[in-house]
């Protein structure tokens, strides 16, 4: 049974058109699937879902950016192109392979031959034509550019004996081959939307991993022989010492990628197998966001704007590393950045350059840390001060003092949630009576992946998920509960799941968004801090003032179709 007969059986196309379409495909030399799509008889998702059901082969959505060059190389490019099949993952010896035409006997025979030659087992999945084209584009881009650059670099290294010294290595790292290799790595990361690049030596090779939507994916495997040249090139770009490989170094550089100025923050780290490099990709167009872009909504947004309107006081953003704290502080700065105010920041490092803000980077190695820098800032006649992080007792004391003397102070603190901030400040030596008069607002957050609006799919969740949602929503403060009440009163609870399309690289997600809890300083909370500043007591008071937890905020975003319930539960494990 061909695909047209399958579609006709499902009443997706008219049965009397099948023979004409078969003849048209034969005369034009294209497949039936290509003909159906070119005539726009049905969309690609419907076409391949029907084919998947008929063949009893699972339809797979794959993020091309998460597929490594090492896996792609297991199937020769010519074979992949001719038989429309491409590998995308390998677990032990089992290779997962996507095929557009798994029913084709020639393709099946070719795959069996390749598996014997390569000594691997395989599992076949159905993929769409657009999915195949996206994967092949990744293959051509990575393999073509990287192979050429590596060949040139290998030739350069062979021509320069190892004994030639650092002068020869500097020459190699400043010439075309290694610059091409590094350029391909940087551009691939930026175009794929990666937030970080990790270049790591192993015993056999050099592994390059990209962090996409919070998760690391192996993307390139490079020969171990070129490791030193790659590291040296990045060090030169970052103004680091190329002859120092025993100590960690930090640096940064900027370059144009696709006509955009991208900053890279660089950190080297000596390991037993050689130096590892981590690069943070800083795209100013993505880093500077509005409150709404961050995911602040309704009551949380109102509380934050109310705090920003105060003439002085301390606003703290809390959460683990990588939870978006700094991005939130930049959004607040953007809101406060007006012609009539003097804003001075002290950061480690300066992540995004913001016009109108006097940004300074601390350098602890020369004694210029947050505490000493903050003393100098207070002599710069500031209205608004940003301190990258409150790390110690001295910085905490100076931050409180600055807020007490009429400045708006923004900073970050490492606590699990908003409730732990007051006990943490007291542990750092801040007197209880100073906190109510200086602390204006605490904002705690996590990041979750945002569903792609073009392909997200409605589902009716399992009973245990419905029970969890109802339990959390029924504990909401009255003023918030009435907002979500219409959603809870529906006959069937509806949420969304990730599906995957061409626009989102088949991942089902597009970017990330914050889930928040915001605790405001009130008169009753101030009195409580003076009497019993324990986390449990503050939790009771927070509920009385109408604070929603991060999990509750996340579940409201689930009901709004912004993210999935799995993402929220993963990000808020501490509530279990």
pLDDT at 559 over 50: yes
On whether both 510 and 429 belong to a single domain, the answer is yes
Q: Do the domain assignments include residue 532?
A: yes
Q: Do the domain assignments include residue 237?
A: yes
On whether both 241 and 276 belong to a single domain, the answer is yes
Alpha carbon 146 to its chain centroid, in Å, reads 24
On whether both 295 and 255 belong to a single domain, the answer is no
> Last residue of a domain, which of 282, 302, 319?
282
pLDDT at 165 over 80: no
Residue 95: pLDDT band (50, 70, 90) is confident
On whether both 430 and 343 belong to a single domain, the answer is yes
Q: Do the domain assignments include residue 221?
A: yes
CATH number of the domain residue 231 falls in: 3.30.450.90
Residue 99: pLDDT band (50, 70, 90) is very high
Report CA-CA distances (Å) from 398 to 318, 372, 394, 409: 18, 10, 6, 10
pLDDT at 296: 92
On whether both 480 and 414 belong to a single domain, the answer is yes
Q: Do the domain assignments include residue 229?
A: yes
Q: Do the domain assignments include residue 153?
A: no
Q: Enumerate the β-bridge partners of residue 385.
A: 344, 409
pLDDT at 157 over 50: no
- By the 8 A CB rule, do 307 and 313 touch? yes
> Last residue of a domain, which of 247, 262, 282?
282
Range of the domain at 98: 3-131
129 φ/ψ angles, rounded to the nearest 5 degrees: -65, -45
266 φ/ψ angles, rounded to the nearest 5 degrees: -120, 140
On whether both 336 and 241 belong to a single domain, the answer is no
CA pair distance 481, 299, nearest whole angstrom = 11
pLDDT at 515: 95
- By the 8 A CB rule, do 105 and 77 touch? no
On whether both 166 and 79 belong to a single domain, the answer is no
On whether both 300 and 392 belong to a single domain, the answer is yes
Q: Enumerate the β-bridge partners of residue 395.
A: none
Q: Do the domain assignments include residue 399?
A: yes
Q: What confidence tens digit (pLDDT) does each residue in 410-464 have?
A: 999 988 889 999 999 999 999 999 999 999 999 999 999 999 988 898 898 888 8
pLDDT at 32: 83
On whether both 179 and 315 belong to a single domain, the answer is no
pLDDT at 169: 44
pLDDT at 49: 87
373 φ/ψ angles, rounded to the nearest 5 degrees: -65, -35
On whether both 432 and 352 belong to a single domain, the answer is yes
Q: Enumerate the β-bridge partners of residue 265.
A: 252, 280
The continuous run of DSSP H or E covering 235 comes out as helix 227-237
> Last residue of a domain, which of 93, 116, 131?
131
On whether both 370 and 431 belong to a single domain, the answer is yes
Map residue 196 onto helix, strand or coil: strand
CATH number of the domain residue 358 falls in: 3.40.50.300
The number of distinct structural domains making up the chain is 3
On whether both 293 and 188 belong to a single domain, the answer is no
- Pairs from 304-311 (Cβ < 8 Å, separation ≥ 24): 304/332, 304/441, 304/443, 304/518, 305/335, 306/520, 307/440, 307/441, 307/520, 308/332, 308/335, 308/336, 310/408, 310/440, 311/406, 311/408
The continuous run of DSSP H or E covering 127 comes out as none
Query: What do you get for the CA distance between the two ends of the chain, in Å?
Result: 51
Q: Do the domain assignments include residue 151?
A: no
Q: Do the domain assignments include residue 141?
A: no
């Amino acid at each position: 049974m061909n695909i047209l007969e399958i579609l006709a059986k499902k009443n997706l196309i008219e049965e009397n058109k099948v023979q004409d379409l078969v003849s048209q495909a034969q005369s034009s030399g294209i497949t039936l699937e290509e003909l159906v799509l070119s005539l726009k008889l049905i969309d690609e998702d419907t076409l391949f879902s029907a084919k998947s059901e008929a063949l009893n082969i699972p339809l797979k959505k794959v993020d091309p950016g998460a597929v490594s060059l090492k896996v792609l190389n297991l199937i020769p490019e010519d074979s992949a192109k001719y038989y429309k099949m491409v590998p995308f993952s390998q677990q032990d010896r089992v290779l997962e392979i996507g095929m557009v035409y798994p029913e084709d006997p020639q393709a099946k025979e070719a795959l069996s031959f390749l598996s014997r030659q390569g000594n691997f087992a395989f599992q076949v999945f159905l993929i769409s034509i657009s999915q195949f084209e996206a994967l092949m584009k990744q293959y051509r881009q990575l393999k073509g550019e990287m192979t050429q650059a590596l060949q040139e670099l290998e030739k350069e290294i062979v021509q320069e004996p190892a004994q030639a010294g650092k002068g020869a290595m500097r020459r190699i790292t400043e010439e075309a081959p290694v610059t091409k290799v590094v350029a391909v790595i940087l551009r691939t990361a930026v175009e794929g939307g990666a937030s970080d690049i990790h270049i790591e030596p192993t015993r056999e090779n050099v592994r390059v991993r990209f962090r996409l939507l919070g998760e690391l994916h192996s993307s390139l495997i490079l020969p171990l022989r070129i490791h030193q040249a790659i590291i040296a090139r990045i060090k030169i770009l970052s103004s680091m010492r190329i002859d120092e490989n025993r100590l960690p170094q930090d640096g940064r550089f900027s370059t144009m990628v696709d006509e955009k100025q991208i900053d890279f923050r660089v950190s080297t780290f000596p390991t037993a197998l050689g130096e590892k490099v981590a690069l943070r990709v800083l795209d100013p167009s993505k880093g500077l966001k509005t409150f709404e872009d961050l995911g602040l909504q309704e009551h949380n947004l109102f509380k934050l704007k109310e705090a920003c309107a105060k003439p002085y006081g301390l606003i703290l953003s809390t959460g683990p590393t990588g939870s978006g704290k700094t991005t939130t502080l930049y959004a607040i700065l953007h809101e406060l950045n007006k012609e009539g105010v003097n804003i001075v920041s002290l950061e480690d490092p300066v992540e995004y350059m913001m016009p109108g803000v006097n940004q300074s980077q601390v350098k602890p190695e020369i004694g210029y840390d947050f505490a000493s820098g903050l003393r100098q800032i207070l002599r710069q006649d500031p209205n608004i001060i940003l301190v990258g992080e409150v790390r110690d007792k001295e910085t905490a004391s100076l931050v409180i003092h600055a807020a007490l003397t009429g400045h708006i102070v923004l900073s970050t603190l490492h606590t699990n949630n908003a409730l732990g901030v007051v006990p943490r400040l007291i542990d750092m030596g801040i007197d209880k009576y100073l906190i109510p008069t200086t602390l204006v607002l605490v904002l705690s957050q996590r990041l979750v992946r945002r569903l792609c609006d073009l392909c997200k799919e409605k589902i009716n969740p399992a009973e245990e998920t419905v029970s969890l949602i109802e339990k959390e929503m029924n504990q909401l403060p009255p003023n918030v509960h009435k907002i979500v009440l219409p959603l809870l009163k529906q006959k069937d609870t509806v949420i969304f799941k990730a599906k995957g399309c061409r626009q989102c690289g088949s991942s089902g997600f597009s970017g990330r968004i914050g889930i928040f809890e915001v605790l405001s300083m009130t008169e009753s909370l101030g009195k409580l801090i003076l009497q019993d500043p324990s986390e449990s007591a503050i939790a009771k008071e927070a509920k009385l003032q109408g604070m929603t937890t991060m999990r509750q905020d996340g579940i409201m975003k689930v009901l709004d179709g912004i993210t999935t319930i799995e993402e929220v539960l993963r990000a808020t494990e501490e509530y279990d």
